[in-house]
Structure 1
């Protein structure tokens, strides 16, 4: 082990001390998260430079990854217990089960509706920036990715919409609680709803037993939420570690080669954030107030590149900061992690479709073709969890359905991590927007912290 690598790690560990002091001196998590983000960017850039000096940076990043990946793992381990007890608690306390249907329909309507808008934005931006698949170079890494995609596309293309939706239904709840399937979150939501409805039936037949069930669920909720808050206290340090690794591993040469696509992607994502803000404004919610409350969650989503791992922070922020009802927060966070993802399932496959269609002589603004593309994007976004999750798999569904080759998805692999960070933040923001709008529509104008429907 080089002494320089050891010193580099020592500097990183030393930086955790002022971050800890800053964190403890603030009541809010947001300033510490922002500080962790800045320190991660600066130190990640420094590590990038140190690599050119011959320092063994991979050894340093391995230890930094212990903090970042460890924090993400802790969040992952809480996802299923949190979703289970939170959804169960919401159902057990409901007086009218029709309210759950209203919440689900409202959340899904926003998620899928905004995905349609994001697909249209993706098409327009790709056209304005003149993006095309022509001229993209296929290296060794891209060629290997093509082989993987060709292998997976066969499995994806064999799935029908009914088969995808059937995959949401739990078959072995312990298997899903362990997160072994890509659609395990939705399966746990469905199981929790059924378990809650059964509890309502018990309460109707035997009020004493029903009260005991409700008390048990209440205790379980308090216990799990305490665990969530304990882990969330490590967010600034997790963000710093994750951002450090991302910046240090970024290939600026690859980013420069695909600079036009990177800029176009970020413009499309920024426009979709503006759409979220406009929807909130139209419904009487201040976008500035909203983004001031949720940006620490977006920072973590950006650095972790995982909508699922962000579920605990998503739910906690919706309940505590946005004052959304627990049922609405849980449904929107859970659905939003796997259904109607504006960035991964909306913007990305739409942009790739344009990049491939233009060289083939297709008029991407032909009403029939454009409508078909948006419809396919929306439908596939509802089933992404059933075929594997992620932007690449959204492209595997959309491109073949539109009669387009999937090779383009492999040729952009070098800039995927950078763009995926922003896409994940947009996905999570879409889920929180869906929850906030649902709260506004169903929770009453006068008391946004208490939903009248639950």
Structure 2
């Protein structure tokens, strides 16, 4: 009789010793949703508390403790993501280009991928232009011209072209602050150029580069594992980012820019729910299977606001939908740096029209064509964490519009950036799927069987694959893994050829 009474007590004690276990078991999507709601609630509370007299510089009003806390939490989350971006770009691009050595029609796949990037960007920017022309978002907006301020981060065609030339191997840039402090930063565009050059060199060297490829492949796995750990903090980071946006700007800013915000989200929804399904159906692909399969990456992009940070998830869901691994390893990293239907197409088109409306500058057909040209060809300028501001300044400078117009839109940028990144990520998975289908290398059964999967399930699947790989490498005396890998490589070459 003592055993039945003792076991529940032990189980109860175990449960009391692990109070976070129940939270961890909550699906990741629900955790993010809770973070969103909590962020808005805390932001409203912080806004009600108001600024604190004497807390700012020179005795001016400053943020209260809750606003400061939300800002700190959100900043830490974004900083962690940024810290992993440079090695992630270099390792992913080098590895992806090197993987093309196993594909017989690599050049054909590469140019078709770029072509479809351009096609979808053209459609997206055209939708943005039509919406902006119909609604005139900058006319009658309640935003004050006092908010006009040129962004510290600006882009121009000259900056873009000169930025392509690496100043050093790591793309490191230094700057001196007003207080004399020295800070270092990475030029993402230069890292991209360096990575492509190294990847091509690896292909040229051939078998002598195998030790280097083993190192980069191993290092990429380590960086991606670190990134997964940071992504697990997304619910907390989302609460901080959204809460700080609500506390700092409030709903008044959204009301003042209501037409512009509505235009951006309506444009993104048209691309996501109308254009993408039409492209899928035209190429004989199931719409439901695609959106079920891509959902983990889309939702993660929404909360992380980083296409690069979401890249490992995007690559995983793309492969799960039947795209060959060697091709996905090339197309997804390339798309994460250059394929931006939200940041580089819809948003800059509408923002340019808003700024032109606000300052009373008429736009002609030539200006609209320039916006299209910049959006289709200048997407690489957005490479980075949140590159929409760079793309916007590039568009404004091309049209000769005041760069101070950027400051008018910064109040709602965090809210818009969530939707922009979600659309970016979805498009980055769409193009490889379409190209694989058209090139007859898509695993149709895997695509049709695609199902909505949780974040935890994908993590568990990747962990299981890693364990299987470790087990195979730990058994050198067993010839089966070697033969299997050889068969897989030969099969990849056969399925990649048309």
TM over 0.5: yes
Q: Separation in 2 of the partners of 1:90 and 1:37?
A: 33
Q: Using the TM superposition, give the Cα deviation of residue 430 of structure 1 relative to its aligned residue in structure 2, in angstroms.
A: 2.0
User: For residues 317 and 21 of structure 1, do their structure 2 counterparts lie closer, same or farther at Cα, with a shift above 3 Å needed?
Assistant: farther
User: For residues 327 and 133 of structure 1, do their structure 2 counterparts lie closer, same or farther at Cα, with a shift above 3 Å needed?
Assistant: farther
Q: Separation in 1 of the partners of 2:141 and 2:101?
A: 60
Q: Which runs of 5+ in 1 are unaligned?
A: 1-16, 26-30, 204-208
Larger-Rg structure: 2
Pairwise mapping of residues 53-452 of structure 1 onto structure 2 (< 5 A)? 53=49, 58-60=64-66, 62-63=68-69, 68-95=74-101, 99-133=105-139, 137-140=143-146, 142-143=147-148, 145=149, 148-149=150-151, 156-157=155-156, 159-160=157-158, 164-165=160-161, 167-168=163-164, 170-175=166-171, 180-200=186-206, 203=207, 212=211, 215-274=214-273, 275-319=275-319, 321-355=320-354, 362=362, 366=365, 370-385=368-383, 390-442=387-439, 444-446=441-443, 452=495
Q: Separation in 2 of the partners of 1:221 and 1:114?
A: 29
Q: Separation in 2 of the partners of 1:268 and 1:282?
A: 21
8 Å CA contact 1:115–1:342 kept in 2: the answer is: yes
8 Å CA contact 2:298–2:425 kept in 1: the answer is: yes
SS in 1 for 2:308: coil
Q: Separation in 2 of the partners of 1:257 and 1:172?
A: 44
Q: Using the TM superposition, give the Cα deviation of residue 122 of structure 1 relative to its aligned residue in structure 2, in angstroms.
A: 0.9
Q: Separation in 1 of the partners of 2:410 and 2:370?
A: 27
Q: Separation in 2 of the partners of 1:97 and 1:347?
A: 34
8 Å CA contact 2:306–2:386 kept in 1: the answer is: no
SS in 1 for 2:295: helix
Aligned to 1:38: 34
Aligned to 2:458: none
8 Å CA contact 2:74–2:237 kept in 1: the answer is: yes
Q: Using the TM superposition, give the Cα deviation of residue 179 of structure 1 relative to its aligned residue in structure 2, in angstroms.
A: 6.1
Residues 104-128 of structure 1, C-alpha deviation per residue, up to 9 Å, x if partnerless?
3233222222221111111111122
User: For residues 279 and 318 of structure 1, do their structure 2 counterparts lie closer, same or farther at Cα, with a shift above 3 Å needed?
Assistant: same
Q: Separation in 2 of the partners of 1:261 and 1:70?
A: 29
Task: Establish whether residue 453 from structure 1 lines up as the match of residue 496 from structure 2.
Answer: yes
Q: Separation in 1 of the partners of 2:240 and 2:226?
A: 21
User: For residues 86 and 397 of structure 1, do their structure 2 counterparts lie closer, same or farther at Cα, with a shift above 3 Å needed?
Assistant: closer
8 Å CA contact 2:323–2:436 kept in 1: the answer is: yes
Residues 73-123 of structure 1, C-alpha deviation per residue, up to 9 Å, x if partnerless?
443333343444444444445446764433432332222222211111111
Residues 261-317 of structure 1, C-alpha deviation per residue, up to 9 Å, x if partnerless?
211221111112121232223223333332333333333332333333333333343
Aligned to 2:479: none
Residues 330-354 of structure 1, C-alpha deviation per residue, up to 9 Å, x if partnerless?
4334333332421222112222333
Q: Separation in 2 of the partners of 1:101 and 1:411?
A: 43
8 Å CA contact 1:65–1:241 kept in 2: the answer is: yes
Q: Separation in 2 of the partners of 1:427 and 1:276?
A: 12
User: For residues 33 and 248 of structure 1, do their structure 2 counterparts lie closer, same or farther at Cα, with a shift above 3 Å needed?
Assistant: farther
User: For residues 65 and 152 of structure 1, do their structure 2 counterparts lie closer, same or farther at Cα, with a shift above 3 Å needed?
Assistant: closer
User: For residues 210 and 348 of structure 1, do their structure 2 counterparts lie closer, same or farther at Cα, with a shift above 3 Å needed?
Assistant: closer
Q: Normalized against structure 2, the TM-score is what?
A: 0.69
Deviates more, 1:310-319 or 1:50-59: 50-59
User: For residues 315 and 79 of structure 1, do their structure 2 counterparts lie closer, same or farther at Cα, with a shift above 3 Å needed?
Assistant: farther
Q: Separation in 1 of the partners of 2:355 and 2:71?
A: 37
Q: Report the number of matched residues.
A: 412
Q: Separation in 2 of the partners of 1:62 and 1:125?
A: 37
Q: Separation in 2 of the partners of 1:353 and 1:362?
A: 11
Residues 378-434 of structure 1, C-alpha deviation per residue, up to 9 Å, x if partnerless?
233344449x97333323222343344444333223222222221222222222222
Aligned to 2:22: 21
Q: Separation in 2 of the partners of 1:343 and 1:295?
A: 17
Q: Using the TM superposition, give the Cα deviation of residue 370 of structure 1 relative to its aligned residue in structure 2, in angstroms.
A: 3.8
Q: Separation in 2 of the partners of 1:263 and 1:245?
A: 21
Q: Separation in 1 of the partners of 2:46 and 2:162?
A: 51
Q: Separation in 2 of the partners of 1:287 and 1:98?
A: 30
Aligned to 1:8: none
Q: Separation in 1 of the partners of 2:442 and 2:315?
A: 21
